[in-house]
Structure 1
Amino acid sequence: MAASEEMYRIPARFRRIENLHIVFWLLKDLCWVMLWRPLGIAMIVPTMGAALLITWQTRNIKSELLHNLAVVFWITANAYWMITEFFSDDDSLRYYAVIPFSLGIIVIAYYYIGEFWQRLKKN
């Protein structure tokens, strides 16, 4: 690593929440694929709660905030899609998940377009 390269560090308490969030998300998706409806629905709460907490904790770091906000939209879409598969025979309902997925893409695009624009202005 170059001596001038900036180092990203995250407090251990934030890292623990991020790691726990992964466990929650995997459990939610396992419940989905195994069709364990009550547990799958219940796992939405800790998964979304951890995502929102991580987003709040990183609110002062623009790149982290926007990436974590995109994750919140991703989980929202993911949870909605799971619920529609659990409780509806209408396959067309799952397509509404495109709304939060798209919001996540917009947030990420906003960040990277802004980064690209800032680099152009510096050069």
Structure 2
Amino acid sequence: MVWKPLGLLMILPTLGISIVICWRTRNMTSELAHNLAIVFWITANSYWMISEFLGFDTLLIGHTIEGKHLAIIPFLIGLLILAYYYLVQKPRETKQERVATL
């Protein structure tokens, strides 16, 4: 099937561009957090696609864990980055802005 090689080939430019965007926004905390989450989500989706294309998506790794379930790790990393930003970093930034305006 021609779509599998094309799908695999598109991982590198997609992931590469998202990393470049992260690098360019590294000085803006909000943008960096969101873009890093996107990098990890693209990584998770890419892994999931690779696992299905290469047929190890249903391979048992643990008692009930299949190969495709490992994609949850980068998804959660992206989620944790955003949670940290919204629960820790953003309140600090808001507090500093309030103090600066007084």
The superposition leaves residues 47-94 of structure 1 with CA deviations (integer Å, 9 ceiling, x where unpaired) of: 001000000000000000111000000000000000001011542111
* Cα root mean square deviation, aligned: 2.2
Identity %, equivalent residues: 50
Assess if the C-alpha contact under 8 Å between 1:35 and 1:86 holds in 2: no
Q: Partner residue of 1:54?
A: 21
Work out the CA distance in 1 between the residues paired with 2:39 and 2:46. Answer: 10
Q: Could you say which structure has the greater relative contact order, defined with CA pairs below 8 angstroms and 6 or more residues apart?
A: 2
After TM superposition, the score normalised by the length of structure 1 is 0.66
Aligned residues: 90
2:91 pairs with 1:116: yes
Gaps of 5+ in 1: 1-33
The alignment's TM-score, normalised by the length of structure 2, stands at 0.79
Q: Deviations over 1:67-123 (max 9, x none)?
A: 100000000000000000101154211100000000000000010002235546859
